[in-house]
Structures are given as structure tokens and as C-alpha cells.
Amino acid sequence: MSDGPLSGRTVLEIDDRVASSYAGRVLAACGARVIRIEHPHRGAPTRRLGPFLDAGDEYEGGAVFHFLNGNKESITLDWTDAYGSELLGALARHAAAAVDARPPEERAPALPDSCATVAIDNFARGDPFRSWLADDMMVQLVAIDSGQTGYVGREPIRGAPDDAEYIAGAAAAYAVIAAILMTARGDPGARAEVALRDASMLMPTRHLTQARFTQRFQPRPEGPRPMSILPCLDGFANIQTGLPWGRIVDMIGDESLRGDPRFQTLPDRLAHAEELNALLIGWAATVTREELGDRAERARVTGGALLEAGELVTNRHYAERGAFVPVDDERYPGLRLPFAPFRISTLAWRSPGLGPRAGEHTTQVLSELCGLEAATVARLHQAGVA
């Protein structure tokens, strides 16, 4: 393990939302010094996300806040104040990049060219919805995929809460690293924008281009596809039934089905969906989810358990891989949160501590990077600027 390309680089996270905090989480874990800049009066939305671990946490942040903001520093600074804005510019002169989640109208004056910036908005410039009020659910429902998800007569249904925020956060981390590489090549001052809606639509598992390509636009389905989610002895599981029939027979272990003309091809199976459904449900009811997964693996069938959130941490696969790590605080024994989205053999993912208290590092950072004395910072605090 050695220092990575983010080591020694400072990244500012200006204002707060899940997307910018997630970008900062990735950058901080990979070696950057990430300084959160929080507005002293408005507070930080990610601090208000439940669940809260202790009484009083609603002021300093719950589990999601700590997940997003370990390994970071926090200062408070009112960038809408003239002197606060000047201090922000001074901080940016020490930074390689900034992730800017402020409302667009508060982004002037521009940060110095030496500091690459990646702005995050719900809707991009040029999007007809640019100035519209929205939250993550609304963004998901205009990002093409979720608008098509669900069944006729029932409401279109979003994916996981905050999917669009996390997608944009990863896109912003990617953009920051690209911008830092551009600076290293002698092209500083990259300016990039990430929009939640566009980043979501640009995930290729979404449906923006597929119907355009075939020119076959379809209504939403009437109800669940047959053969989707099967009840097992201890919960639910899923298998893909579009595979060669012989593999599915191998998984079930019933030789009498091998030559069954109702199921030989996918069209055959769709034509006899109810019979197949009954057969699979009957079989699944005799096995546990893990047995189903193991038998599917041996038969080269795609399938596995539908895991509940509470089962993830103890699942044998994730436990062996260390996919969930303990929160580094004795107040929360046993609490584990997701570890890293990737492992790089030469670059350690820094294990997270708890996120910083609001303004915990204001004096230290303004002193170190802007040359202010502690007494000056105290006066700024009294004046509501810091």
C-alpha cells in the first residue's frame, strides 16, 4: 500500500446534500483531505437524516451522516456574507477541487481557477425542469426508469430512497478525480456539473435509449412477471428462468421434467407460465434460500436470496469479505455500516470514523489555511459568519 493520487490534495465540500457528501466519502476514503463547509444558520441536511443512534443526535447527525462523513473536517462559514465569501475564495486557493452543492444563485463569485469545481444540482442547466422544486423521489420519477416501474393502475414506484443522490455522488467523485488529473497534466480549473436527473438517466440499466432504439414503446405491465420472486422455507429468492431448461432441471433435481415439452424453450415457458410458476413455487418451498443459491450455482443458474437489510451484516459471504465494518465508537457496539464500493490492492480504503461535529474544525482550518487568529474566528462566530 502506498499513497494514492489524492494524498496531499484538499477537496472542499461546499454546502450539503447526500450526493456531495457521498462524493466526499469516496474521495476522503481514498486519501484526500476533505473539508465540509456548512452554512452556520441553515444547518446541513445530511445531519437530519435518520435513523438517529442517540437522543440529541438530530443536532449532530445519525447513522447516515456518519457513514457519509467519516474522515472529514467540518467548518461553518456563511458564503453569502461578503467576508465569508472572501474566506471561501482563500480556502479554495489551497484546494485541488471543490464539490459545490450550493444553490446555483449562491455560486458567485467563481472559485479561483486553480480549484477545479464540480457542481451538483437536481436538474442540469438546459433541463426544462432546471428551476423546479424537487426531492430525490421526484427526480427518480422523471429519470425515465422509475416512471416506468410498477404496474398499471398503481403509482409508479421509485427505487431505493436516495438512489439518485448516491448515483450523482459517485458521478461527482469520478468528475473530481478526472479534474484533478487534468490539473496534473497542466490544464487546471476544470468546471463540471453533475445533475441527479441526468446522472440517473445515464445509467445504462435505465431505459432512456432502449425504446428509442427499437421504436417500441410499451405500457407498464399489468402486474408482476411470473416466476419472479419465490417463497422459500426461510424467506424469498429469485432465479432467472431464461436459461437452458436442462440447467433448471439440474437445480431442481427432478429428472422427470427434463423432456417436458411445456418448458423446453423460453417461449414454451412463457406459454405455460402458470404451470411453471406453480412448479417452481412448490420446489422453492422445500429449500432454504441458501440451499437454493448453492444449487443454482452448481447448476449454472442465476439465482439467490432476497436478503433483508438486517441479514446483510451476518450473511456468510459479506461477513467473509468484510463488506460491513464496525463504527469506530464504543457507544454503538455491533453497529456495522457498508465498507468500500471497491478494493484497490495498492491503495487502502481508509476505515471511517464518526463524522465531525458542525464547525468542529473551523478555528483550526481558518487559522491554518487563511491565517486567521483564534480571536478573529471567535468574532466571526459571534457575527454569524463562521
Partner 1 sequence: MTGRAHLPLAGKRVIDFGEVMAGPFCCSLLADLGAEVIKIESTSRLPALSRGGLTGPSQKKRYGYRHGIPGDRPFERYTLFHNVERNKLGLTLDLGTSQGKDLFASLVGKSHAVVSNYSAGTLARLGFPNERLHELNPNITIAFMPAYGSTGPYRNRLAFGQVTDMLAGRAWVRGYPETAPYDTPLQSLADSVAGTHAAIAVLLAMAQADGSGAGAVIDVSHAEAMQQHLAEHVARAWLGQPSGTRGNRETWAAPHNAFPTRPEPDPNDPCADDHWIAIAVHTDAQWEALAEALGGGLRVDARFATLIGRKRNEEALESAIGALTREWDRWGLAARLQSVGVPAIPVITEYDSQFDRSLYERGVLAHLNHPWAGPTDYLGPIARFTNADIHTWRPANALGQDNADVLGRVLELDAAEIAALEEAGVIGSTYKVGRGT
Chain positions 282 to 301 lying near partner 1, rule: CB under 8 A, are: 293, 296-297, 300-301
Q: Which is nearer to partner 1, 89 or 156 (CB)?
A: 156
Q: Give me 180's grid cell.
A: 484533478
What backbone torsions phi and psi does residue 11 show, to the nearest 5 degrees? -120, 130
Site residues for partner 1, 314-373, by CB under 8 A, read 316-318, 320-321, 323-324, 334-347
What backbone torsions phi and psi does residue 280 show, to the nearest 5 degrees? -70, -40
**Nearest Cα residue to 384 out of 15, 82, 37, 41:** 41
Q: E-assigned strands of 141-299?
A: 191-195, 230-232, 235-239
Q: Give me 233's grid cell.
A: 422455507
Give the residues across from 206 on adjacent strands: none
Q: Which is nearer to partner 1, 90 or 137 (CB)?
A: 137
CA–centroid distance for 252 within its chain: 37
Q: How many residues bind partner 1 (CB under 8 A)?
A: 145
Q: Give me 163's grid cell.
A: 438512489
Neighbours of 322 (CB within 10 A): 11
Q: What whole-number distance in Å separates Cα of residue 95 and Cα of residue 118?
A: 13
Among 2, 41, 105, 375, binds partner 1 (CB under 8 A): 2
Shortest reach from residue 322's CB to partner 1, in Å = 9
- Asked if 81 interacts with partner 1 (CB under 8 A), we say no
Among 105, 310, 375, 382, binds partner 1 (CB under 8 A): 310
Q: Which is nearer to partner 1, 81 or 294 (CB)?
A: 294
Among 57, 90, 203, 226, binds partner 1 (CB under 8 A): 203
C-alpha distances in Å from residue 176, one per residue of 93, 94, 99, 112, 184: 16, 15, 8, 16, 12
- Asked if 267 interacts with partner 1 (CB under 8 A), we say no
Among 101, 111, 171, 287, binds partner 1 (CB under 8 A): 171
Among 172, 196, 279, 292, binds partner 1 (CB under 8 A): 172
Among 28, 44, 192, 284, binds partner 1 (CB under 8 A): 192
**Nearest Cα residue to 192 out of 108, 95, 99:** 99
347: DSSP letter? B
Q: What whole-number distance in Å separates Cα of residue 318 and Cα of residue 89?
A: 44
Shortest reach from residue 154's CB to partner 1, in Å = 7
255: DSSP letter? G
Shortest reach from residue 247's CB to partner 1, in Å = 10
The reply to whether omega before 109 is within 30° of 0 (cis) is yes
Of the candidate spans 100-108, 195-203, 250-258, 272-280, the one that interacts with partner 1 by CB under 8 A turns out to be 195-203
Of the candidate spans 103-111, 184-192, 271-279, 363-371, the one that interacts with partner 1 by CB under 8 A turns out to be 184-192
Among 33, 158, 269, 295, binds partner 1 (CB under 8 A): 158
Q: Give me 289's grid cell.
A: 434460500
Site residues for partner 1, 50-69, by CB under 8 A, read 50-51, 53, 62-64, 67-68
Q: Which is nearer to partner 1, 256 or 345 (CB)?
A: 345
Shortest reach from residue 64's CB to partner 1, in Å = 5
Q: How many CA atoms lie within 13 A of 219 on its CB side?
A: 7
- Asked if 35 interacts with partner 1 (CB under 8 A), we say no
Is residue 242 within 8 Å of 250, Cβ to Cβ? no
Of the candidate spans 71-79, 98-106, 130-138, 368-376, the one that interacts with partner 1 by CB under 8 A turns out to be 130-138
Q: Which is nearer to partner 1, 177 or 365 (CB)?
A: 177
Of the candidate spans 92-100, 252-260, 303-311, 358-366, the one that interacts with partner 1 by CB under 8 A turns out to be 303-311
Strands 72-76 and 33-38: parallel
Of the candidate spans 84-92, 103-111, 169-177, 366-374, the one that interacts with partner 1 by CB under 8 A turns out to be 169-177
Among 42, 58, 86, 132, binds partner 1 (CB under 8 A): 132
Shortest reach from residue 157's CB to partner 1, in Å = 6
Q: If you compute the radius of gyration of the chain from its CA atoms, what whole number of angstroms results? A: 25
Q: E-assigned strands of 157-269?
A: 191-195, 230-232, 235-239
What backbone torsions phi and psi does residue 76 show, to the nearest 5 degrees? -110, 135
- Asked if 43 interacts with partner 1 (CB under 8 A), we say no
